[in-house]
Amino acid sequence: MIFSAPVYIEGNNLLVPAGIAIRKKDIDHLLSWGYASVTTEGDLVKTEPVAEKTAAEISGPAEAAATAPGFSGETKKKSAGNLLSLTDVQENKGAYRSYIDLIERLDTVFSNIGSGISVEPRTVDNLTSRLLQAVWDDRDHIIGFILGGEVTGHVLAKSSVNTAILSAMIAMELKFTHHKVMHVVTGALLHDVGMLRLPKEITDKSGGLSDAEVQRMQAHPLYTYKIITKELLYPEDVGLVALQHHERWDGEGYPRRISGTDIDMGARIVSVADAFEAMVSEKPYRNSMMGYQAMKNLLSDNLRRFDPEVVKAFIKTMGIYPIGSIILLNNGSIARVAEVQGDAPLRPKIRILIDEFGKLYKQDEGDLIDLLTEKSLFIARALDPKEVMKKK
């Protein structure tokens, strides 16, 4: 159904803008979160099936920010370089240094494996322990680094560290024992190490792959499994996390086309974390996607790729608007999501970056607002920092 005015949840929380279809799966998600109704002041204008529009087709987030009350051209120029870029989160130097150190150390491990140099399992175990400590100590900052995407180089190591961080969060949300969390995180750190056994002309190719190249690419979980269990001598539990992370809930994955609960639980977790990481990270063949849109893509899976319970746990720990996301409020303010509220994924705690009068705040100086208690405020849309920066 399409209406002539925006459709809201809870009376003031935007579900879809005017002219955009409400789909059945949108309603299914709302029902699963306990919402019983939506409201609109518009008239029904269309009920026939329509193609889903992208955010860019509706209206670019940069244009939305540029036309928001209090968001003047001068403010854009000032803010684009420091507030809408997530590099300012690096002020927490301990967390940032820990994050970079994890990537550099894992890159060394990968370089040694790729060169045929023996790697001791305790080296990887040490990385797993360091990563879990970083998540416990500075979870919010670490998520900001993942979404910021401003760490360049060490592509495979960075992707693996990011996937392992997200996997750890899901495993903790699912109340895994510490021993099981360690296995999942270790498998996540190593889940793509088999890519090192593929030719560079395949792994670095920016265009489409041939059928033969696709078959070679889809063999990497088997290479990974052998490296983990035969070279690093990890137990089967760790190997299965990597071997099965490309299997799908509907049985259409690879390498063995298993489905549902036959897929190892750790692999189901890494599958979700890996997919989200891939969407928010720039690749040779496409640009990165902002966290909100990536989360919407996971929500629209409909039992195809992912275990729905794992997706639910991921949303509960990350929120619909992940920590670090830049958002536009209904009063024209620009803010960053500061804290996710698991039972209310659409109403996080936010930190004001630019208020409704155009005043620019430095890191952590803007008001911290709880959208659960400030009912007059709601998120109008997520903004892509990179798109806003292009307008400076």
Statement to judge: residues 218 and 330 lie in one domain: no
Total tally of structural domains belonging to the chain? 3
pLDDT surpassing 60 at residue 57: no
Q: How high is the pLDDT of residue 55?
A: 33
Statement to judge: residues 160 and 193 lie in one domain: yes
Select from 280, 300, 318 the last residue of a domain: 318
Number of H helices, E strands in the chain: 16, 10
Q: Burial of 261 by CB count in 10 Å (0-12 exposed, 13-18 middle, 19+ buried)?
A: exposed
Range in 51-55, 65-69, 252-256 with the lowest mean pLDDT = 65-69
Is residue 323 within 8 Å of 143, Cβ to Cβ?
Answer: yes
What are the tens digits of pLDDT across the range 141-160? 888 888 876 677 899 999 99
Select from 291, 318, 345 the last residue of a domain: 318
Pairwise CA distance, residues 56 & 60, whole Å: 5
Q: How high is the pLDDT of residue 190?
A: 97
Statement to judge: residues 45 and 65 lie in one domain: no
Q: How high is the pLDDT of residue 49?
A: 55
Statement to judge: residues 161 and 293 lie in one domain: yes
Pairwise CA distance, residues 175 & 196, whole Å: 33
Q: How far is CA 124 from the centre of its chain?
A: 24
Q: How far is CA 198 from the centre of its chain?
A: 26
Is residue 217 within 8 Å of 196, Cβ to Cβ?
Answer: no
Statement to judge: residues 330 and 307 lie in one domain: no
Q: How high is the pLDDT of residue 291?
A: 86
pLDDT surpassing 50 at residue 89: no
pLDDT surpassing 70 at residue 330: yes
pLDDT surpassing 70 at residue 104: yes
> Which of 358, 364, 366 has the alpha carbon at shortest distance from 66?
358
Domain that holds residue 185: 91-318
Q: How far is CA 175 from the centre of its chain?
A: 21
Is residue 104 within 8 Å of 154, Cβ to Cβ?
Answer: yes
pLDDT surpassing 90 at residue 28: no
Kindly give, in sequence order, each residue whose CB lies less than 8 Å from that of residue 151, ignoring residues fewer than 6 positions away.
99, 100, 103, 145, 158
Q: How high is the pLDDT of residue 22?
A: 80
* Confidence class for position 25, pLDDT limits 50, 70, 90: low
Q: Can you give the three-state secondary structure of 104-160, one letter per residue?
A: HHHHHHHHHHHCCCCCCHHHHHHHHHHHHHHHHHHHHHHHHHHHHCCCCCCHHHHHH
Q: How high is the pLDDT of residue 210?
A: 83
Pairwise CA distance, residues 4 & 41, whole Å: 8
Statement to judge: residues 256 and 389 lie in one domain: no
- Write the DSSP symbol of residue 283: B
* Confidence class for position 2, pLDDT limits 50, 70, 90: confident
Statement to judge: residues 66 and 131 lie in one domain: no
Is residue 33 within 8 Å of 345, Cβ to Cβ?
Answer: yes
Pairwise CA distance, residues 221 & 239, whole Å: 9
Statement to judge: residues 95 and 227 lie in one domain: yes
Q: CA separation (Å) from 149 to 3, 158, 162, 312?
A: 36, 10, 10, 24
Q: How high is the pLDDT of residue 139?
A: 87
pLDDT surpassing 60 at residue 313: yes
Q: Is the dihedral of CA 303, 309, 313, 315 positive or negative?
A: positive
* Confidence class for position 78, pLDDT limits 50, 70, 90: very low
The mean per-residue pLDDT over the stretch 356-366 comes to 85
* Confidence class for position 74, pLDDT limits 50, 70, 90: very low
Is residue 80 within 8 Å of 353, Cβ to Cβ?
Answer: no
Q: CA separation (Å) from 79 to 87, 338, 353, 367, 386?
A: 12, 18, 9, 17, 12
Instruction: For residue 266, give the amino acid letter.
Output: G
pLDDT surpassing 60 at residue 85: no
The mean per-residue pLDDT over the stretch 292-320 comes to 91
Statement to judge: residues 71 and 134 lie in one domain: no
- Write the DSSP symbol of residue 305: S
Q: How high is the pLDDT of residue 368?
A: 94
Kindly report the CATH number assigned to the domain that includes residue 285.
1.10.3210.10
Q: Which residue has the higher pLDDT, 17 or 97?
A: 97
* Confidence class for position 93, pLDDT limits 50, 70, 90: low
What are the tens digits of pLDDT across the range 171-229? 999 999 999 999 999 999 999 999 998 888 787 777 778 888 888 888 999 999 999 99
pLDDT surpassing 80 at residue 364: no
Q: Other C-beta atoms within 10 Å of 117: how many?
A: 10
* Confidence class for position 52, pLDDT limits 50, 70, 90: very low
Select from 318, 336, 351 the last residue of a domain: 318
Q: CA separation (Å) from 132 to 128, 186, 248, 260, 274?
A: 6, 10, 27, 28, 17
Statement to judge: residues 338 and 362 lie in one domain: yes
Q: Phi/psi at 368 (nearest 5 deg)? A: -95, 120
Statement to judge: residues 30 and 102 lie in one domain: no
Statement to judge: residues 388 and 291 lie in one domain: no
Instruction: For residue 267, give the amino acid letter.
Output: A
